[in-house]
Amino acid sequence: MAPTITPAATPAATPAATPSITLSEAATKAIEVAMGDADGDSLRLTIDARFQHELFFAPREAGDMEVPANGNGVILHLDRASARRADGVSIDFIGPPQNAFKIENPNQPPKAKPKVKPSSTPIELARDCEATVIPGGEKVTLAQGDMVVLTQALGGSFTVRTDDGALVRIAPEDAGALGLEATPPKELRGDTGPFDLAKVFEQLRTVFDPEIPINVVDLGLIYECQAHAIADGSHRVEIKMSMTAPGCGMGDVLKEDARSRVQELPGVSEVDVEIVWDPPWDKSRMSEAAQLELGMF
């Protein structure tokens, strides 16, 4: 059983500095016109934690920060949380037919790249690439110009069905052959905190069965996971894992995936992954989340 992960304490809030906000000439004029119907309300700008922006007139609230917009006489009122997200914001006004304010915020995190989804549309391989036959584990070479259909893209690798009906796994480094961009799984290399066995399970959850869209932890394939401190202060992680079918040829592939992901963790110097078959795996080992994902409830 994976240890309970305790969230880190939330740091105390720090006072917000007065942000710099720029209004375009068009936005200034639109605000001045709107002020005639504001009945004395303040112009408020709110920016929530998801960086959703709202510009509107409303009564002033206690604790508001008054922010002059680029010296043109317009004052915006922001709550303290919004002010911390507002430095460098620029506001423009787009005329007909939109008649809407356009707000750009340099503090907004970049949007995550959309996940690659399975598709029934055939993909023509842009170059030769090596693949692993599922479930046998044999290595084959797919040729440039071959047509394949993407059936799964999880954990950084791709499962495709070839013209002759074979199911094969393509490694992340060959994403370009599919005309796709490799999306590496979550890594913890930037984490400099102490070794934590919970993080081992986090990494193992980025390893997926190539036929079933479930990670090896929720599939119940991790039978044992232990960490042992060694002389230099680092840790040796020992993992026993199984496959969903006896003698599955993908064992070596998933074993290496698990080893390499755990090896990335700070404080880990050795990783040993052993494939075991006793007791045999069965569906009762799957987590409730996995069973729900596969429609088994």
Provide the residue ranges of all domains of the chain, joining segments of one domain with +.
21-104, 123-178, 197-293
At the top level of CATH, which class does the domain 197-293 belong to?
Answer: alpha beta
Under DSSP, is residue 253 helix (H, G, I), strand (E, B) or coil? helix
Q: What is the spatial distance between Cα 269 and Cα 257, in angstroms, rounded to a whole number?
A: 16
At residue 28, the pLDDT reads 92
Close Cβ partners of 4 (under 8 Å, ≥ 6 residues apart): 198
Helical (H) or strand (E) element with 105: none
In whole angstroms, what is the distance from residue 207 CA to residue 221 CA? 11
Distances (CA, A) of 100 to 22, 26, 48, 97: 16, 11, 19, 9
Angle of helix 197-204 relative to helix 251-263, nearest 10 degrees, comes to 140
The predicted pLDDT at position 219 comes to 95
Question: Right CATH number for 123-178 from 3.40.605.10, 2.40.10.10, 1.20.1250.20, 2.30.30.40?
Answer: 2.30.30.40
Write down the pLDDT at residue 5.
31
Tokens of 269: 């110097």
Report the relative pairing of strands 235-241 and 268-275 from DSSP bridges.
Answer: parallel
- Range with lowest mean pLDDT among 112-126, 134-148, 250-264, 266-280: 112-126
Q: Which CATH class is domain 21-104?
A: mainly beta
Of the spans 110-114, 274-278, 293-297, which averages the highest pLDDT?
A: 274-278
Report field, pTM of the whole predicted structure over 0.85: no
User: Is the pLDDT assigned to residue 15 strictly greater than 60?
Assistant: no
